[in-house]
Structure 1
Amino acid sequence: MRPRAALATLLLGLCLLPGCQKQREAAQKPQVQASAHDAFYLWPGVTPSPDLRPKTLYLLDGEVRHGGAPRLTRLRMGTPHLPGKAVWLVVRADRLDWDAATYAAILADLDQWQKAGNSITGLQLDFDAATRGIGNYARFLKDLRARLPRRWQLSVTGLMDWSAHGDPQQLATMAGILDEVVIQTYQGQTTIAGYDSYFVRMAHFPIPFRVALVEGGAWRAPPALEQHPRFRGYVVFLLKHPSPQTRAGA
């Protein structure tokens, strides 16, 4: 066999492996078009395209990072007025050992955004809780819910693994605390391969949920997802695109 033919045979064999097969299947799925949706994650530095008509915005307000004493590191300059939008303020957390000052800073931001004339739906916590750690996470969220004024809802991001495989009793406990979970289907800028199998296991998921998609990522709704009694729609994570001048090489 010639070297090129041998190489082609080897590559073909590799592409028959399960992981490669999943990648091929993902590549064949339609791409997420932001303009087909009306709820978006908007991180600082990202400018949405003018063709979008957002009704709901999830805005990253700050982070509670590892290292040193816990505190809210704010990521936005100023407080914009966003009329006609339902706004969730998002706090991304690497740790849960918050002190009183951290809670106070987050509540102050919610209050400030609302006083600026924004329709604040509530607070979302973006924390990668491991499946085995859901019990501890639920206890933290119970305490957070007790501190959060009732006029604001509480949302969290959820990994597909714990949403599909989490202990039913612990998930039921969280159902009494949370108003919604937004399930992440991507890592970085890429849709996670094999996402269909996770949603098959969510038939009895007890919490209202949205599904987060990454702009431009591969996505075809799994069977029965959109008929799930607690499915509330999609949120698209918007990516930072080069400016027209940058694309033109300016």
Structure 2
Amino acid sequence: MTMRPVAWAMALLATLTLSACQPRPDADIVAAAGHDAFYVWPGVRPAKTLQPKTLYLLDGEVRRGGAARLERLRMGVPRLPGKTVWLVVRADRLDWNEATYATIFNDLRRWQDAGNQVAGLQIDFDAATRGIDGYALFLRELRRRLPQSWQLSITGLMDWSAHGDPRALAQFSKIIDEVVVQTYQGRTTIEGYDSYFQRMENFPIPFRVALVEGGTWRAPAMLAHHPQFRGYVVFLLAAEK
């Protein structure tokens, strides 16, 4: 029986939608077990079986609206012996005032004074929609203010420029100590990451690759021999209700 054009189009759309939801046949499902570095947001409890060595902990957000200030999202300062800790600040704006800097630096000190091994501060900011040149100016000022005992890390999106060019990140080589490249959006791995990492062959900054728990991943071959690759960070998810 010949399928009518409308029915054929709907069947094709359903097939494409189903295909888009399927994991790559050559990819593995990302499991937290076997990794030792994690993003842990407030409200997420890592499984007791995990043995983290490095933790990226969301401390707060600098949101739009009103005067710039850090909105703390994590109450209390636990002692995490034997673990390297990065405090993460998610920024929606870059016009930080003196109070914003002071609050964030005080949080770093509080975590360190509690007996934690604090590596430094990570900024989570989507520069793709706001201009990377302005972000560079902000990071230079932040690095100038940040005590030298702490490192400066940033997250890197694979779509930072129109073509997802890692060179947009490479210009920060004299400002930051580390980039964590995010390969996911929400709970899903972004398609086409292979082509992005092919352009990172000469990337000059130490970098990690962030994977989302439950996403799909097959490591690009170049990572195995890249001199700046420092391993993975798994973004832990809260259990769905």
- Using structure 2 for the length normalisation, give the TM-score: 0.90
Distance 1:13 1:111, change over 3 A: closer
- Unpaired runs of 5+ residues, structure 2, are none
Distance 1:166 1:3, change over 3 A: closer
RMSD of aligned Cα (Å): 2.6
Write the letter of the residue equivalent to 2:155.
T
1:11 partnered with 2:44 = no
CA separation in 2, counterparts of 1:12 and 1:229?
44
CA separation in 2, counterparts of 1:112 and 1:159?
30
CA separation in 1, counterparts of 2:72 and 2:118?
17
Q: Deviations over 1:110-150 (max 9, x none)?
A: 00000000000000000011178222111110100010001
Number of aligned positions between the proteins = 240
CA separation in 1, counterparts of 2:63 and 2:172?
24
| Identity within the alignment, % | 64
Identify the residue that residue 57 of structure 2 maps to in structure 1. 59
Larger helix fraction of residues: 1
Query: Is contact 1:26-1:193 (8 Å) kept?
Result: no
Cα drift, residue 162 of structure 1: 2.8
Cα drift, residue 226 of structure 1: 2.5
Cα drift, residue 173 of structure 1: 3.7
CA separation in 1, counterparts of 2:221 and 2:201?
11
Query: Is contact 1:161-1:198 (8 Å) kept?
Result: no
Identify the residue that residue 154 of structure 1 maps to in structure 2. 152
2:143 to 131, 139, 145: 145
CA separation in 2, counterparts of 1:238 and 1:157?
16
CA separation in 1, counterparts of 2:20 and 2:226?
25
1:30 partnered with 2:35 = no
Write the letter of the residue equivalent to 1:162.
W
2:116 to 118, 121, 124: 118
CA separation in 2, counterparts of 1:235 and 1:90?
13
Distance 1:171 1:241, change over 3 A: closer
- Unpaired runs of 5+ residues, structure 1, are none
Distance 1:10 1:122, change over 3 A: same
- Using structure 1 for the length normalisation, give the TM-score: 0.87
Q: Deviations over 1:13-36 (max 9, x none)?
A: 774x6x976654536521001011
